[in-house]
Structures are given as C-alpha cells and as structure tokens.
Structure 1
Amino acid sequence: MFDWNDLRFFLAVAKEGSTLAAAKVLGVNQSTVQRRLADLEAQLGQRLVERLPSGYRLTELGVAILPQAQAVAASAQDFEQALRDLGRAHVGIIRLTCPEPVAFRLTQSGILDRFHAKHPGLKVEFVLSDQYVDLAKGEADVALRSGDTDDNVLVGRKIADSLWAIYASHQYIERHGAPATVADLARHPLIAFEESMSKHRTVSWFKEVAPGATYAARNTSVLGLIYATKAGVGVAPLPMSLGDAEADLVRVIGPVPELTRAWRILTHPDQRHTARISAFFDFVLKESEALRPILTG
C-alpha cells in the first residue's frame, strides 16, 4: 500500500520534467517533492524516474503507470467537484428536532408545506424530544429550542419569545378553586417535570416559589403536563401557545416573567453554511411572523 497523495508529486515531475518546476506548480519546497517521490518509489519497491543532467525522465515502469496515475488524479478531481456541487445543491434531508407539540403545530400551520414547495429537493424530518438532542453528535441538523442552553458551540438566531403561564382545568377549579397569586401555588397540588429534567426553568422556579407544595403528577414531556392538567389532578406551568389553545384549560396566573425565554433556531457551525441548512434558516427567518403564534401564542 502507498499514499495516494504521493501520486500528485509523481505526476507533477512527469509533466514538468524537474523537481524544481514541480515544486513551483504544487506550491511546496523542492525538497518536499524529492522526499514524496522517494517515498512513493520506496513503497512500490521500484524506481519511477531517473535523474539526468537535463532533468528527470520516467523509467519504463514510470511510463507504464502514468496513464493509471492520471486516471486517479482525474477521478479525485471529479470527486472534489461532486462534493462542491452537492454542497451547493438544495437536496437532501433536514432533521429538525423540537418538542412534539411544536411539530404538530408546524405541520398543521402549512409552513412546512410552503418550504417543501419552495425547495422540492429538500425534506424536513422530525426528531421529536422534549429534551435536548445533541447536534454536535449528529443526532439532528437543526433545533428549535426555547430556554437556556449551556451549549456554546451551536449558532443561530432568536425567532420568537417563549411565554409560560399557570393553568388548571375547569373541573379542578370547580372543585378546589384557582390560585390567584404565585404565593397560592404552595396550597395546590402541582404538576411538573420529573427530576431528570431538573435543569428546566419551571422545576427550579417551583422549588423557589412553592418549596412546601405537594406534587400530583410528574412527567417528562409538555404533552404529559397538558394531559395531567386536563385530567384535573392539579395546576401546571405550560407554554401559553399550547395552554391557551386548550378549551378545557384556564390560565389562572401569568404570563410568568421568570419563565419567559427565547425561541431560537440553532445548528452546528459545520452545518450552518451548507446549502440545505442555509435554505432552511433563510426560510424560517422570513417566516418569523407566521411562526410567532405557533411558538409564542
């Protein structure tokens, strides 16, 4: 086996007739050309060129393998061009991660239909999770996220505000009344995220404002919070975009300023300027007005 890259130096010497001229063409030192050529010959176990007073001449083996070496170089150039063309092409899958309710609302809104109509070679595929999917590990291409993130690697833009409030069902209010102030929350059973989501702002906020409260239910998703609240077992913090849309629920407190965060569209820097991701970013930013009711309420 040998280093395919060494063929570049062999081809340059074969074309230019000297290591000095080859070095100028390749933009390297003459000693580098001589060393890489010697490495190739050592790996093959045979001489490819011979040095003459007038320069370099190919050996019989060098002449014999020259067409194959040229074919390898041409294939490498075709490969590089294909990569450049694909990098500029609006084709492929865009894996978008976001909470399940947001995916539903995006689909129902027609926004994604407009994106697919504008870019028929692109397809948005959801990676659904209420917890953060790791973009750096390639688990998704783009994220719609609200709240704080300790990932300083990702790049993106704010596209809306994430507003939260406290909700209860009509059934719960009829039986137990509604909390009128934040201080009242300690006297009502709470519905919250599980401790596995302890970094979520609602978890820490409940601990601050209602340290002695009891919990009626815990869940790992926003949908779980909604279902538990509609069941009438307690009161819960919910995004206003979702809570206000539920006829069975009543906003009893809020919006809560301490729970307000930004919605952002995020991606990894290595992906940001590829054609497909750039196309999606540009589209989302242009559709920001249509996205606000979906994300903010």
Structure 2
Amino acid sequence: MLDWNDLKYLLAVARHQGTAAASRALGVNQSTVQRRLVELERNLGQPLVQRHSTGYRLTSFGEQLLPLAQQVEQAVVALTQHVENFLRDVTGVVRVTCPEPLVYRISNSTLLDRFRSRYPALQVEFVTSDRYLDFAKGEVDIALRSGDTNDNALVGRKVGDSLWAVYASPKYIARRGRPDSVEELERHDWVGFDDTMAQHRAASWLAQVAPKAHFVARNNSVLGLVYSAKAGIGLAALPTALGDAEPDLVRVLGPIPELARIWRVLTTPELRHTPRVAALFDFLVDEVEALRPIITG
C-alpha cells in the first residue's frame, strides 16, 4: 500500500534535482531518500525518476504525479496549521464530575501530568459527586459515569468496566464471620446508602437479595461506605477498584454480576466540539489503557 509519507521524498528530489540535495533539505541521509523512492516506485508499479549526468529528473509518470503530490503536501500543511491553531485555542477550565474516590486515583496517577504537558493552558477542575450533575444547567462539561444513564442527549465512549463486590474488615469477620453465599447476606450487619442514594443499583440489589438486611449505618457516598466498612461495623458493597486497594478490607463475595456496569466518558453534542472539552474528552479516550486500571482496579 502507498505510504503517503514517501511523497515528500519525490517532491524533494523534484525540487533539488538530486538525492544528495534532497537529503540535506529533509535532514536525512541520502540512502534513506533513495530507499524511500525505490519503495514508492515499487508500490506504484512505475519508475518515477531517472538519473542523468546533471542529476535526477522525473519520468513522464513522475511529472504527472508531481502536481498531485504537491496538493497532498498543501493539505498536510493546512492540517498541521489547523492543529496548531486548535492547540493555541485550548485554554480555560474543563469541569469534570466523577465520584470522589476516582479523583484521588486519577490525581495520584501520571494521567493529569501528561495532559498538562500537552495542554498547559487548560485547567481540569473536578466536581465530586455520587449523584448525576446536570449538563443543561452548566454544572459540568464532562462526566465519568458508571452504570446506565437516562439522558439520551449525551454522547460518550466506553473507557472501562465497573465491578462491585462485598467487603468486610478483618475485625468484622472475626466478630461475625463471613458470608459464603448471597443467601447468607441477610444474617449480617450492613453499611449502605441513605435515602438520597436509594436509586443506586447497589441499594436496589441488596433490597432484592436481602430485603431484611440489618443496617447499622448509612452514607450518601461510596467513600463513606468505605470508611464505615473499614471501621468494622458491617459489610458493604463497593467497587472493586476501591475495595481491593484497601489493606483493611477483605473481599468476601463477588464480583456481583448484577452490579456490573460500564464506565463512560460523557458530554453533550454541543460541548463535544468545543476545543477545551474536545481536548480532554479525546485525551481520555486515547489514554483508555492507562485509565482502565484506575477505574476498574
């Protein structure tokens, strides 16, 4: 297949009438110019240059390709200029909403350092919340969310999987034992979400499998559940990314298939095309291999 990059060697030889002068203009060695020309001729199936005593000249076929190659060069220059202008315009603040524990994990990775080196004039501001903030009210620009969303006006990309399991502290296990099955959950103490998070899938799941579960504490955030579980007062359903990272917690059941969801990076169609939001959105998608272990564990 044709390597578009090879066209610049054809253009350089045509302009400088020799591979030596072309190599100096391109900042490569002469053998590279000759090799790339040969490769281009092989891919096209036709000779492009002829060597004469006064230097290189284009064949008839090469002359036909020359204006087309110049158009490609002009398009590349225009594209490069467009990207440079885009990067110069990427300034300001991008507000990102996600659960508080995720902010800590992202901030303690090298992800933001790489983003700042690419867009030094763009600031990332986290808005931490376990509830869904409203794009229409201008509360946020980008959301990192797991689970289903009822907002069909948003556009997004999958960046990982959200897995949940049941955890307990060694102190709790020593006092109350550990459940070996879902059927035993109802006989244990629990820490769970309060009424403001009643629609969360973890709350719904526990209400289904253990409707008579005894709650000893309730919180309005996942981080609150982590602290309560570490204190040893009860079991908690937690994301594996958080629970597995806590040395004071033990996974006693799961992952729970019913709680599995996907993580998405989301925004509105309008914001998706603004330079500052597009910069971070595309960066997160490009860095999915680095982002996935942060959000999945």
> Structure 1-normalised TM-score?
0.70
User: 2 CA distance for matches of 1:99 and 1:283?
Assistant: 20
Cα deviations by residue, 1:254-296 (Å, 9 ceiling, x for unpaired):
1000000010000111101111111111110111011111101
Letter in 2 for 1:287: E
Q: How much has 1:87 moved relative to structure 2?
A: 11
- Does residue 159 in structure 1 map to residue 136 in structure 2? no
Name the structure 2 match of 1:147. Answer: 147
- Does residue 239 in structure 1 map to residue 239 in structure 2? yes
**For the Cα contact (< 8 Å) 2:182–2:209, is it kept in 1?**
yes
Name the structure 2 match of 1:192. Answer: 192
**For the Cα contact (< 8 Å) 2:190–2:217, is it kept in 1?**
yes
Q: How much has 1:106 moved relative to structure 2?
A: 0.3
Aligned pairs for 1:69-84 (under 5 A) are none
Name the structure 2 match of 1:171. Answer: 171
Name the structure 2 match of 1:133. Answer: 133
Structure 1: runs of 5 or more not aligned: 1-84
**For the Cα contact (< 8 Å) 1:164–1:256, is it kept in 2?**
yes
Q: How much has 1:86 moved relative to structure 2?
A: 8.6
Q: How much has 1:88 moved relative to structure 2?
A: 7.8
User: 2 CA distance for matches of 1:126 and 1:139?
Assistant: 11
- Structure 1 stretches (4+) deviating beyond 3 angstroms? 85-88
Structure 2 SS opposite 1:109: coil
* 1:114 to 1:86, Cα distance in 2 relative to 1, 3 A: closer
Letter in 2 for 1:98: C
**For the Cα contact (< 8 Å) 2:87–2:119, is it kept in 1?**
no
Name the structure 2 match of 1:294. Answer: 294
Structure 2 SS opposite 1:156: strand
RMSD: 1.4
Letter in 1 for 2:188: H
User: 2 CA distance for matches of 1:203 and 1:176?
Assistant: 22
Aligned pairs for 1:196-215 (under 5 A) are 196-215=196-215
Indicate the structure (1 or 2) with the bigger Cα radius of gyration: 1
User: 2 CA distance for matches of 1:135 and 1:281?
Assistant: 15
Structure 2 SS opposite 1:223: helix
User: 2 CA distance for matches of 1:197 and 1:249?
Assistant: 23
Structure 2 SS opposite 1:247: coil
Name the structure 1 match of 2:277. Answer: 277
Letter in 2 for 1:203: A
User: 1 CA distance for matches of 2:86 and 2:260?
Assistant: 40
Cα deviations by residue, 1:135-156 (Å, 9 ceiling, x for unpaired):
1210011000011111111111
User: 2 CA distance for matches of 1:97 and 1:241?
Assistant: 18
Aligned pairs for 1:16-95 (under 5 A) are 89-95=89-95
Cα deviations by residue, 1:47-70 (Å, 9 ceiling, x for unpaired):
xxxxxxxxxxxxxxxxxxxxxxxx
Aligned residues between the structures:
213
Aligned pairs for 1:214-233 (under 5 A) are 214-233=214-233
Structure 1 SS opposite 2:157: strand
**For the Cα contact (< 8 Å) 1:157–1:265, is it kept in 2?**
yes
User: 1 CA distance for matches of 2:150 and 2:220?
Assistant: 20
Letter in 1 for 2:165: A
**For the Cα contact (< 8 Å) 1:88–1:274, is it kept in 2?**
no
Q: How much has 1:195 moved relative to structure 2?
A: 1.8
Structure 1 SS opposite 2:135: coil
Name the structure 1 match of 2:254. Answer: 254
Q: How much has 1:166 moved relative to structure 2?
A: 0.2
User: 2 CA distance for matches of 1:205 and 1:260?
Assistant: 11
**For the Cα contact (< 8 Å) 1:87–1:274, is it kept in 2?**
no
Residue identity (%): 58
> Structure 2-normalised TM-score?
0.70
